[in-house]
Amino acid sequence: MTEIKTEHVWPFERTSPLDPPPVFAELRATCPVSKVSTWNGREAWLLTRYADIRAVLADPGISSDLTIEGFPEPTPTVAAARGGQKNFARMDPPKHDEHRRMLAPDFKIHHVAELRGYLNELVDVLLDRMEQLGGPLDLVDMLAQPVPSSVICQILDLPTERSDFFQDRVKTWMSFDNPPAVASQANQDILDYFSEVVDERFDKPGDDLISRMITNQVKAGKLGKDELLHILQLLLVGGFDTTANMIALGTLTLLNHPDQLALLRDDPSLVNSAVEELLRYLSVAHQVAFRLATDDIELGAQCIHAGEGVIAPIAAANRDPEVFADPDKFDITRDARRHVAFGFGLHQCLGQPLARIELQVVFSKLFVRFPHLRLAGNADDLAFRNSIIYGVAELPVIW
């Protein structure tokens, strides 16, 4: 095989805030399986084609286990934040499959659909509050964060008044800008909180996911308390941070494309299609698809050897012109359902039915209530999050 020299350092910089780094397109056209250097001087293979990324994410010879020597990470802060993770997102089969099956019933489509009524009421209340306060106001604070944080509190039966604590700890944990020790402490704070909740419900279970996990899994000897804490941590982060950023960035994207927003206003039945296109176009989980080869695998003419790191960015897959015509164009009428915004293979996001419903409800109501919604200020002044999950720090709007 031809040796591929390292010419790039991960992570790459964006030149446009709502588009992936242009290096993805350059490498896809010239060297779609290439080597990059990471923060600690190690090399990893970077994939930029949709087909290669899906193949790797579905390959049983690829591991998600962070504890294996050589596993790639984008920054030292992320390495520290993820280092103590013991949830099934960072496990390989068969243990991954066992833990995932414990949660699967609560996230089946028909079960999640039962939350639509609650979501409709919640979003109406939040929009009422926005209308009463008047603009300008921060859409992140008033809508994007409260929707998913309230829903995850509902599912886990947590007090909504603690949502500020969750939001602060999750942001601190996920941010690249914080020192490793600060990120690790935020991670521990979340675990400590859930430890208290589990202890309280161990003898006094309720009708909620945590209580069911205690009764059906921990007391039955199928799951340890520490394992349960890391599962709850994953649910909190996965159920809150990604959707919050999608709501804010999705709103900004629609405002930046008034022709597409007009289509959605004129034809509300396009909301499901619009959500899928937003998921494809934005790909907010931009620092998650890291793997380690445990067997030799062939990708085209290139061999990735066991023990080598692999980076499979979903943002690169979702902008591949071989799969999505004119991929840098935002088009809510396209069939974007083949996107991999939720990952692919056995590790694809368990909560994707919930995320879809949350986004559908928000974008079916927001621009109906506020048809003249617009940015309150200059788009060039917006600050974007340097984090595992991509987002905008604040989104000031007026109407």
For the segment 47-81, what is each residue's pLDDT rounded down to a tens digit?
999 999 999 999 988 999 888 888 888 777 777 65
* Domain at 8-398, CATH class: mainly alpha
Question: Which DSSP helix (H) or strand (E) runs through 117?
Answer: helix 116-133
pLDDT of residue 395: 98
pLDDT of residue 197: 96
pLDDT of residue 176: 82
User: Percentage of the chain with pLDDT > 70?
Assistant: 96
| Cross-strand bridge partners of residue 170 | none
For the segment 14-29, what is each residue's pLDDT rounded down to a tens digit?
999 999 999 999 999 9
- Using the predicted structure, report yes or no on whether residue 336 has a pLDDT greater than 90: yes
- Using the predicted structure, report yes or no on whether residue 231 has a pLDDT greater than 50: yes
For the segment 252-298, what is each residue's pLDDT rounded down to a tens digit?
999 999 999 999 999 999 999 999 999 999 999 888 889 999 999 99
What one-character-per-residue DSSP string does 10-23 give? SSPPPSSTTS--TH
pLDDT of residue 2: 47
pLDDT of residue 220: 95
Question: Which DSSP helix (H) or strand (E) runs through 47?
Answer: strand 43-47
Among residues 357, 352, 353, which one has the least CA distance to residue 120? 357
pTM of the model: 0.93
Write the CB contacts of 331 (distance below 8 Å, at least 6 apart in sequence).
260, 277
Cβ 36 vs Cβ 311: under 8 Å: yes
User: How far apart (Å, rounded) are the C-alpha atoms in residues 214 and 228?
Assistant: 8
Domains in the chain: boundaries: 8-398
What one-character-per-residue DSSP string does 219-261 give? TTTSS-HHHHHHHHHHHHHHHHHHHHHHHHHHHHHHHH-HHHH
pLDDT of residue 346: 87
User: How far apart (Å, rounded) are the C-alpha atoms in residues 348 and 100?
Assistant: 11
> What value does the mean pLDDT of the chain take?
92
Least confident of 132-136, 234-238, 258-262, 325-329: 234-238
- Using the predicted structure, report yes or no on whether residue 370 has a pLDDT greater than 80: yes
- Using the predicted structure, report yes or no on whether residue 3 has a pLDDT greater than 60: no
Q: Are strands 8-9 and 33-37 parallel, antiparallel or unpaired?
A: parallel
Confidence of residue 109 (pLDDT cuts 50, 70, 90): confident
Burial label for 109, CB within 10 Å (0-12, 13-18, 19+), is exposed
What one-character-per-residue DSSP string does 165-203 give? HHHHHHHHHHBTTS-HHHHHHHHHHHHHHHHHHHHHHHH
Q: Specify the higher pLDDT residue, 99 or 5.
A: 99
User: How far apart (Å, rounded) are the C-alpha atoms in residues 174 and 288?
Assistant: 11
For the segment 143-158, what is each residue's pLDDT rounded down to a tens digit?
999 999 999 999 999 9
Secondary structure of 323-374 as H, E, C letters: CCCCCCCCCCCCCCCCCCCCCCHHHCCCCHHHHHHHHHHHHHHHHHHCCCCE
- Using the predicted structure, report yes or no on whether residue 86 has a pLDDT greater than 80: no
Confidence of residue 371 (pLDDT cuts 50, 70, 90): very high
Handedness of CA 365, 174, 55, 227 (dihedral sign): negative
Residue range 363-390: mean pLDDT, rounded: 94
pLDDT of residue 61: 86
- Using the predicted structure, report yes or no on whether residue 164 has a pLDDT greater than 60: yes
